[in-house]
């Protein structure tokens, strides 16, 4: 008796079985089968497609890489720098812009490491002082340190990052929401003014890929490789609000040259990006680490880069492996299809023309960066 009672109670607790609607793709319902239990991150399909695989050792024109990091490239010793220059020669990189993300003695050490032996092959950029931002002397202190780094060889400031935790901050060290330093904060006005005065461009990472503000789960756009970057439900500004800090800052500092890296994290919507470029003439972009944005919309990306060739620059942001550079040449120059990408999206070559390649690789950087 009690057993029957238990069964009845138990089944009453179970949710009503509503059959899941079948997943329909391209008009065809997907059938169940042995692959249903496969983990998403283990799914690494092998392509049977027989298509050209063009290997390009060098770009069609010498290239300036406007986005690299000493830390990410594992540069510690002069031998590391020698090895990087050797790779740069092999892959056709004329100059690399190195973000040291440092100020003070660490910046000075890194400036010496790169510039003593290779003043023509590297530009070394400094970071920004973000200590004690509430102290009354903060604006002057940050601007003064920028000028000091400039005298030591800095030719720009960057990469300065605000993903919603405040400038150069992250989840672990973020201040309370109302205390955070965002790029349109008046406390940074002097720093942006000093950058303009010294002709130092600034590279800024604003927000992040928009999918980071969407929940992890069945509808998340990017693969599990990127889940560590997800910001959904976290104590950060919204994606839209961060882009507004960009616009307010651009409007307030028309004389400063701002390079928003990763296509300003809105490479998924080139129409919106075009509008912003038309509105703010001091806004420039790099394509670093957005191989997956341009590679999955080759026609749109080609039209965009053709139109804004004087506003967009080539950059990598992915270390210094030879195959990484070669991947970029293939993506930008060839008509190859279904190129294996970093996420599971395959890429399609953009087949850019000579004029756009020249501007993207070199000419825009030569005009914009400080080579004095």
Q: Is the peptide bond before 159 cis (omega within 30 degrees of 0)?
A: yes
Which single residue is written with the structure tokens 């690789």?
A: 361
CA distance 125 to 315: 14
Query: Which of 242, 248, 208 has the alpha carbon at shortest distance from 228?
Result: 208
Which positions from 104 through 123 interact with Zn ion, judged by CB under 5 A? none
Task: Examine residue 162 and tell whether it contacts Zn ion (CB under 5 A).
Answer: no
Question: Of 138 and 292, which has the nearer Cβ to Zn ion?
Answer: 292
Which positions from 240 through 269 interact with Zn ion, judged by CB under 5 A? none
Question: Of 159 and 333, which has the nearer Cβ to Zn ion?
Answer: 159
C-alpha distances (whole Å) from 24 to each of 27, 36, 210, 345 are: 6, 15, 26, 20
Q: How far is the CB of 159 from Zn ion (least distance, A)?
A: 5
**Burial per residue of 183-194, b for 16 or more beta-carbon CB atoms within 10 angstroms, e otherwise:** bbbebbebbbbb
CA distance 37 to 54: 36
Question: Of 212 and 356, which has the nearer Cβ to Zn ion?
Answer: 212
Q: How far is the CB of 203 from Zn ion (least distance, A)?
A: 8
Question: Of 56 and 95, which has the nearer Cβ to Zn ion?
Answer: 95
User: Of 124-132, 152-160, 239-247, 351-359, which part binds Zn ion (CB under 5 A)?
Assistant: 152-160
Question: Of 259 and 350, which has the nearer Cβ to Zn ion?
Answer: 259
Query: Which of 173, 171, 313, 146 has the alpha carbon at shortest distance from 235?
Result: 171
Locate all alpha helices (DSSP H) within the chain, ordered by sequence. 2-13, 78-91, 104-115, 138-151, 189-197, 239-252, 270-279, 291-294, 298-307, 322-333, 354-358, 364-368
Please give the helix or strand (H or E) that residue 174 lies within, else none.
none
Single residue of 184, 317, 333, 336 touching Zn ion by CB under 5 A? 317
User: Of 85-93, 124-132, 301-309, 310-318, which part binds Zn ion (CB under 5 A)?
Assistant: 310-318
Question: How many residues make contact with Zn ion (CB under 5 A)?
Answer: 2
User: Of 4-12, 301-309, 314-322, 335-343, which part binds Zn ion (CB under 5 A)?
Assistant: 314-322
Q: How far is the CB of 266 from Zn ion (least distance, A)?
A: 16
User: Of 117-125, 158-166, 184-192, 320-328, which part binds Zn ion (CB under 5 A)?
Assistant: 158-166
Question: Of 200 and 287, which has the nearer Cβ to Zn ion?
Answer: 287
Single residue of 65, 94, 108, 159 touching Zn ion by CB under 5 A? 159
CA distance 104 to 192: 19
Question: Of 126 and 143, which has the nearer Cβ to Zn ion?
Answer: 126
CA distance 62 to 362: 7
Residue nearest to Zn ion (CB): 317
Question: Of 143 and 183, which has the nearer Cβ to Zn ion?
Answer: 183
Question: Of 70 and 334, which has the nearer Cβ to Zn ion?
Answer: 70
Q: How far is the CB of 250 from Zn ion (least distance, A)?
A: 20
- The full DSSP string for 27-52 is TEEPPP-GGGG--GGG--PPP-----
CA atoms within 13 A on the CB side of 320: 26
Q: How far is the CB of 304 from Zn ion (least distance, A)?
A: 21
Q: How far is the CB of 64 from Zn ion (least distance, A)?
A: 16
Q: Which residues bind Zn ion (CB under 5 A)?
A: 159, 317
């Amino acid at each position: 008796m009690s057993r029957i009672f238990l069964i009845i109670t138990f089944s009453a607790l179970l949710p009503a079985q509503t059959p899941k609607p079948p997943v329909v793709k391209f008009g065809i319902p997907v059938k169940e089968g042995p692959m249903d239990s496969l983990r998403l991150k283990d799914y690494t399909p092998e392509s049977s497609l027989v298509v050209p695989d063009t290997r390009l050792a060098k770009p069609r024109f010498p290239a300036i890489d406007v986005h690299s990091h000493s830390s990410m490239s594992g540069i510690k010793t002069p031998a590391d720098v020698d090895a990087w220059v050797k790779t740069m020669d092999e892959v056709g990189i004329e100059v690399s812009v190195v973000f040291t993300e440092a100020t003070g003695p660490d910046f000075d050490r890194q400036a010496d490491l790169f510039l003593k032996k290779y003043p023509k092959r590297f530009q070394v950029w400094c970071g920004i002082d973000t200590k004690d931002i509430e102290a009354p002397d903060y604006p002057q202190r940050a601007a003064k340190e920028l000028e000091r780094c400039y005298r030591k060889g800095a030719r720009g400031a960057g990469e300065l990052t605000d993903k919603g935790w405040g400038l150069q901050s992250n989840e672990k060290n973020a201040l309370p929401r109302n205390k955070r330093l965002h790029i349109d904060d008046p406390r940074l006005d002097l720093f942006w003014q000093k950058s303009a005065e010294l002709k130092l461009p600034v590279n800024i990472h604003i927000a992040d890929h928009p999918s980071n503000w969407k929940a992890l789960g069945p509808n998340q756009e990017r693969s599990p490789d990127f889940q560590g970057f997800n910001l959904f439900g976290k104590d950060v500004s919204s994606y839209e609000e961060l882009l507004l800090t960009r616009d307010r800052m651009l409007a307030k500092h028309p004389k400063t040259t701002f390079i928003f890296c990763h296509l300003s994290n809105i490479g998924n919507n080139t129409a919106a990006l075009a509008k912003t470029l038309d509105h703010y003439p001091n806004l420039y972009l790099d394509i670093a680490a957005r191989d997956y944005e341009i590679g999955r919309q080759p026609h749109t990306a080609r039209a965009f880069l053709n139109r804004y060739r004087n506003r967009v620059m080539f950059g990598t942001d992915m270390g210094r492996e030879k195959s990484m550079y070669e991947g970029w040449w293939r993506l930008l120059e060839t008509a190859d299809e279904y190129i294996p990408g970093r996420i599971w999206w395959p890429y399609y070559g953009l087949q850019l023309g000579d004029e756009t390649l020249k501007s993207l690789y070199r000419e825009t950087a030569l005009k914009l960066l400080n080579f004095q």
